Amino acid sequence: MFGGVGLAGVQLSYYLTIARINIAIALLVQYLGLVAVTAFERYHRRQRVGAQVWAALAMVLIGAFFAVGAYQPSLFRVNLPGVMLGLVSAGFFAFYILRASTLARRLETWTILVYGFGTGSLLWLAFDAVTRTALPTDWRIWIVMALVGLVGTLVAHALFVIALRTIRPSAAGIVASAEPVFAGLIAFLLLGDRLQPLQVAGAAVIVAGIVTVQAASREEALSATVLP
C-alpha cells in the first residue's frame, strides 16, 4: 500500500499534472493535501490540533502561493484536467504522509524504503512494459536520472520518514513545504535566477509558518512532560 499507492501514486499523478499545468500551480495544489493530513489527525486519530498548527498551515499555503509565483496572471490559464489531476496528487500525497507515519512507528527506516520503493519500482516496470516506454539511449540522461533518484528521491524520502519518528505528520508536512524556499535559493546561487519581491515575501511567510508549528510542537511536548 505504501509503495504502490503512496510512492508510485504520488509520482504518477504529479508527473501527469505537471505535463498539463504549470509546475508552480501543480506544487501549490499538491500542498492542499496537508489540509487533509491535519484534518485526519484531528477528526480520525482524535489528536489535539491547536490553533497554532492551523495558523501555520494557512501561513505555509499562503506563503507557497507567493513563493512559487502563482499570483502571476499567466499561470491561471490552466486546464480543468490538470487541476483535477493535481487534486488527485494531493490525495496521494496525504495518504503517503499518513501511511509513512504509521509505518515509522513499527518498522526500521530502511525496511520501509526497501519494500516501498521495491513495490513502486515493480509497478513502474509493469507500467513501462504496458505502455512500451522507450529507455533513454544517452548515458548522460542516465546520470541525471540517477542523481534525481538517489538525492532528490531516496535520500529525501529517507529523511522525511526519519522526521516522522519525532514529529507528527502535519508538522512534518508543513516543514517539508520549505521546498520552494530552498528551490528559490538554489536557483539564485547556481542559476542566477532573481526572485521577485512577492516571492521573497512568500518565502518569509513559509519560514514563519514552520517556526510557528515547531513552537506548537514544543509546547505540546512540554505539556506532556508537566501533566501527570
Please report, in tens digits, the pLDDT of each residue of the chain (228 residues total). 999 999 999 988 998 988 888 777 888 888 899 999 999 998 888 888 888 889 999 999 999 888 877 777 766 666 778 888 989 999 999 999 999 999 998 999 999 999 999 998 999 888 888 988 888 889 999 999 999 889 888 899 999 999 998 888 999 999 888 888 888 888 788 877 777 888 889 889 999 988 888 887 665 654 544 444
CA nearest 35: which of 26, 46, 43?
43
Evaluated on CA atoms 155, 159, 160, 164, the torsion sign reads positive
Give me the pLDDT at residue 227, please. Answer: 44
Q: How much is the pTM?
A: 0.84
Q: Cα separation of 115 and 99, whole Å? A: 13
pLDDT of residue 187: 79
At residue 224, the pLDDT reads 46
Q: One-letter amino acid identity for 188?
A: F
Cβ-contact 86, 200 below 8 angstroms: no
Contact 78, 224 (CB under 8 A): no
pLDDT score, position 220:
61
Neighbours of 58 (CB within 10 A): 14
| Alpha carbon distance 134, 129 (integer Å) | 9
Residue for grid cell 513552537: 215
